[in-house]
Structure 1
Amino acid sequence: MDEGSANTGKLPQVAILFSQFAAYHVDRVEAAARRLAGRAEVLAVEYATTSATYAWEPAEGIEHARHVTLFPGKSYDEVGHLARYRAAMKAVRDAEMVCIGVPYSERDIIALSWRLAAAGKRVVMMTESKFDDFPRSLPREQAKARLLSSYRAAIVGGLRQREYLRFLGFGDKPVLPGYDSVGLDRISAQGAGEAVRWEDRDFLFVGRFVEKKNLSVLLAGYARYRELAGSAARRLVLAGDGELAGALKEQAGEGVVFTGFLRAEEVSRRLARALALCLVSTEEQWGLVVNEAAAFGVPAIVSTAVGSRDALVRSGVTGHVVEPQSAEGIAHAMLALSKDKADWQRYSQATTARAHMGDTERFADAVEALFDPDSKGAERAVQFWEDMAGT
């Protein structure tokens, strides 16, 4: 707490800013607010109710933080940069620490971060970007590093995100893990139900049908898996929708099921019944569905591009890591997880034991650590880095 807060008797304010709240954003701000209760007020700010990119339902269940929607009933994409900048600056002007979870490349966010820093606020970047997301240009990265110098700390997903920020000049600034997390209790409750026989479990993909999800290669890998598994082959369920739906349905062969877009509760129920989650993207900053699968002890087959593998996937232990363009590798990973019940149970138990690394309590640890560097949260955040780096 700074001297001004102590003199007025008011709790210091920590603002957490997102473009739009989904359920897992609510999980994070609520976890942070519960952790800082009595020490700070958490201000949960979203710019708008909807967006053109994500079909999330309006935020519900914010009880411990103060919730502010800057442009209620509007889409984030409909609001201009200047209007967003002005509204955000007004909303967070009394906060002592501002955690920004909106892409740092947005013009209004660049202006906001610099204005807040000039006003003496502690500006914290929240990001899941990593160097290997796509080809990088050195001059562009150098310019980016200068733009990001207004940030005093960062909350990131995992090891590769940390290394990328170090490359961008955060070497002497606090960089803490826990950004990419979900409320495991909420996910588990949504998927609670009847027991599922191992024989009835399917492979499952959840997400948008877009190019970077690499679904054409996943289908090719699944077709090869069916050749290897023969009559014992499991189904592959593709839950979602998108621009590639037609082409994927044409490519799909026997055993592939399309569910269409599913609500969050339906996704959880599907995950609870899955044999393994399949996420073999060519570009994937994190992949929160891996966290959700872990809530049910469901192993994951992920590509090397998937950021969440840093924390949650250990090949041969909690799932398998494959090359995104290797249909053969995907097929053999599927075979390894489907051929023996006892082996699968070991994968599942190991996944359950590691699931806590994807829970929003890790986000609360990071926020608490930045608010109070001598807290237990700070100790746990350091331990999280060690756990990720270990086996």
Structure 2
Amino acid sequence: MDETPGQHSKLPQVAILFAQFAAYHVDRVEAVARRLKGRAEVLAVEYATTSAVYAWEPAEGIEHARHVTLFPGQSYHDLGKMERYRAAKKALAGADMVCVGVPYSRPDIIALSWRLAAAGKRMVLMTESKFDDFPRRLAREQAKAKLLSPYKAAIVGGLRQRDYLQFLGFGDKPIVPGYDTVGLDRIRAQGGGETVRWEDRDFLFVGRFVAKKNLNVLLAAYARYRELAGAAARRLVLAGDGELADDLKAQAGEGVEFTGFLKAEAVSQQLARALALCLVSTEEQWGLVVNEAAAFGVPSIVSQAVGSRDALVRNGVNGYVVEPQSIESIARAMLALSQSEQAWQRYSDATAERAHLGDTERFADAVEALFDPTSEGASRALKFWQEISEG
């Protein structure tokens, strides 16, 4: 076990648990630690340094929270369930409130949540799951409801995540928004601050090349967009890599550029130069890249499946919400954002106005609201619900 130097505090301890830290996890725990300074010690716990799914760089920049890596230098998916359970139980023994950002259906997390709840810890679920992610089976959903019993509150992304928890019988337990957020200041600093001419902006996708990202349909829609736009057509930049890379490169026609996997700084620089982000997934619990695009006032074209649309995208106001299998609707949305600089600027300005809803200060509001229901953070969390409900 590895942790940052420092004396253990006698303040109440708020623990935040993730499988592995990426930069945006660091953003969140640091925002909470700054917010609760002098009132609580924040313990930032990650199981491992790497994983088999995400090629994130090791966590850096945790200064205000106490950072603990249970298995430094190891991969989360190489660890056994029992060793994960034992290590987490020991690390969280001194916590008063435990915010769990690992899927609650994993066997070791089920055991951990019940054990810690029995020990008097206030367990807080953090989730971005929503009902429409994929087909649901009643028996399985009923079983899930029982797994939520140890949790006394939840932090979720937005409206559909809240509705799903209520469907699962979360009852009158507190549910606050702000889970799916990133540090907008960090993203903007990485972008470099370069002034980009409208004429030089392109469409952009950022993510893994996997089936649920629906990139074959995006490429077909882009080809249709080129037919509609003619000589004025913008490029489509696909930033990422994955199992479908070869198939997508074979399908791609004129105007498509593949960058390969990019580090966080390079992603921010691509976003800062984009005309619009395209995320037309068939399954997308949230899509944090929409938050990142909003940091630069870049409008997004998203499918109905994308969770972040509830908070960050208003169809026809600051972006477009499209049907994931409709090639024509995606192409028409691309055309609408590429024809007029004046119209694009209106969309950009409206995007920038909503960007604060995707910032980690909203996550700090959520944790503060649960730590102290009389706080200003609690008032801001309530205002968040109002803003995303009213549109």
Q: Output the TM-score relative to the length of structure 1.
A: 0.97
SS in 2 for 1:182: coil
1:278 maps to which residue?
278
Distance in 1, matches of 2:15 and 2:193, equals 37
* CA–CA separation in structure 2 for the residues paired with 1:254 and 1:78: 42
Q: 1:149–1:169: 8 Å Cα contact kept in structure 2?
A: no
Q: What secondary structure is seen at the aligned counterpart in 2 of 1:149?
A: coil
What is the distance in 2 between the residues matched to 1:150 and 1:123? 7
1:146 aligned residue: 146
Q: Say which SS state the counterpart of residue 305 (structure 1) adopts.
A: coil
Report how far residue 169 of structure 1 moved: 1.2
Q: Does 1:289 align with 2:289?
A: yes
Cα distance in 2, alignment partners of residues 194 and 65 from structure 1: 32
Match of 1:228 in 2: 228
Letter in 1 for 2:115: R
Q: How does 1:2-21 map to 2 (within 5 A)?
A: 10-21=10-21
Runs of 4+ in structure 1 off by over 4 angstroms are none
Q: In structure 2, how many angstroms separate the alpha carbons of the residues matched to 1:141 and 1:194? A: 48
**SS of 1:170 mapped into structure 2:** coil
Aligned equivalent of 1:38: 38
After superposition, what is the alpha-carbon deviation per residue over 1:82-131, rounded to whole angstroms, capped at 9, x for unaligned?
A: 00000000001110000000011110000000001111110000000000
Within 5 Å, give how 1:1-391 maps onto structure 2.
10-391=10-391
Q: Which amino acid aligns with 1:114?
A: W
Q: How far apart are residue 193 of structure 1 and its match?
A: 3.4
DSSP-derived class of the 1:144 partner:
helix
SS at match of 1:317: coil
Superposition deviation, residue 10 in structure 1:
1.8
Q: Which sections of structure 2, spanning at least 5 residues, go unmatched?
A: 1-8
Query: 2 CA distance for matches of 1:110 and 1:176?
Result: 22
- Supply the distance in 1 between the matched residues of 2:93 and 2:323 (Cα, whole angstroms): 46
What residue number does 1:6 align with?
none
What secondary structure sits across from 2:276 in the alignment? strand
Structure 2 letter corresponding to 1:214: N
Q: Which amino acid aligns with 2:309?
A: R
Letter in 2 for 1:190: Q
Partner of 2:5: none
Other structure's SS at 1:320 match: strand
Q: Secondary structure, in 3 states, of the residue corresponding to 1:72?
A: strand
Partner SS state of residue 43, structure 2: strand
Instruction: Quote how far apart the aligned CAs of 1:170 are.
Output: 1.1
Deviation at 1:63, TM superposition (A): 0.3
Is the CA contact (8 Å cut-off) linking 1:315 and 1:321 kept in structure 2? Answer: yes
1:292-315 deviations in Å (ceiling 9; x for gaps): 000000000000000000000001
2: distance between equivalents of 1:297 and 1:125? 31
Quote the residue 1:3 is aligned against: none
Q: Give the AA of the match of 1:241.
A: D
The amino acid of 1:85's aligned partner reads Y
3-state DSSP class of the match of 2:293? Answer: helix
Matched to 1:91, the amino acid is A
Question: How many aligned positions are there?
Answer: 384
Secondary structure of the 2:154 match is strand
